[in-house]
Amino acid sequence: MGIVGLVYFLLRPLYLHYQLLQHEYSALVGNSKRYSKTEISDSVYYALPDVESPALEKRIPVDGNHPEFVVQIDQAVRNSKATLVKMQLAETYDSFLPADQAKAGKSQTSDLQTGMENEKNPFLQPVWIRLEVAATKEEWIRLIDELQKGDRLISVTVWKYQWTDEKKPATGTIYLTAYYYQDSRLKKGK
């Protein structure tokens, strides 16, 4: 019984695992046959529950007439104790590129172009924001954190900041993106 018992205890777990895999395989084959007959359209629209809709619409509004992100940015600057130098809004990021680089197109790709082009999404329409701020190193870090904490979805796309003295404010630029949905099915009344 010694060798037979040893073989039994060594092979039994392998055999049970093999049976489990066979059962999973037969279930997968059955499911694939069942679901291969079902057509799934790309244009399937799922309505959100009433509880989730207001919160999501506050984060990403359905239309572009919600400029509260400007207030959110201003509040983030104030909370970080930085100084707002200038804020610009644009529909395309090309307006933030230097004139010679915008004309050159993709032959000269900068960090700004690369960062902005990575923000493309077919369902979201971006609003590009260029923010110039005077801040110390600590205020700058706090500002980046504050910008991402707000109710409205704001993405920090690219930033340029270099400090020489940690206690002395330096001017830096942050390129942000705020979004709104461009899917017509989400518009109210449709």
Where do we find the tokens 């059962």? 23
Which pLDDT score, from 0 to 100, does residue 51 have?
60
Q: Categorise residue 148: left if φ over 0, alpha if ψ from -120 to 50, beta otherwise.
A: alpha
Which pLDDT score, from 0 to 100, does residue 84 have?
92
- Domain limits of the chain? 1-38, 53-186
CATH of domain 53-186: 3.30.70.60
What 3 state SS string does 53-118 have? Answer: HHHHHHHCCCCCCCCHHHHHHHHHHHHHCCEEEEEEEECCHHHHCCHHHHHHHHHCCCHHHHHHHC
Which pLDDT score, from 0 to 100, does residue 183 have?
64
Which pLDDT score, from 0 to 100, does residue 143 have?
93
Q: Is the pTM of this model over 0.75?
A: no
Count Cβ atoms within 10 A of the Cβ of residue 27 and give its class: 0-12 exposed, 13-18 middle, 19 or more buried: exposed
As given in the structure block, the two tokens for residue 90 are: 């644009």
Residue 156, helix vs strand vs coil: strand
Which pLDDT score, from 0 to 100, does residue 37 have?
61
pLDDT tens digits in sequence order for the chain, 190 residues long: 677 777 777 888 888 888 988 988 888 888 777 766 655 554 444 555 666 667 777 777 776 666 788 888 999 999 999 999 999 888 777 777 765 444 445 444 466 556 556 556 677 788 888 999 999 999 999 999 998 888 888 888 888 888 778 788 999 999 888 888 776 565 554 4
As given in the structure block, the two tokens for residue 33 are: 């046959």
| CA–CA distance, 141 with 35 (Å, rounded to integer) | 50
Q: CA distances (Å), 38 to each of 34, 75, 179, in order? A: 7, 50, 34
Phi/psi at 122 (5° precision): -65, -20
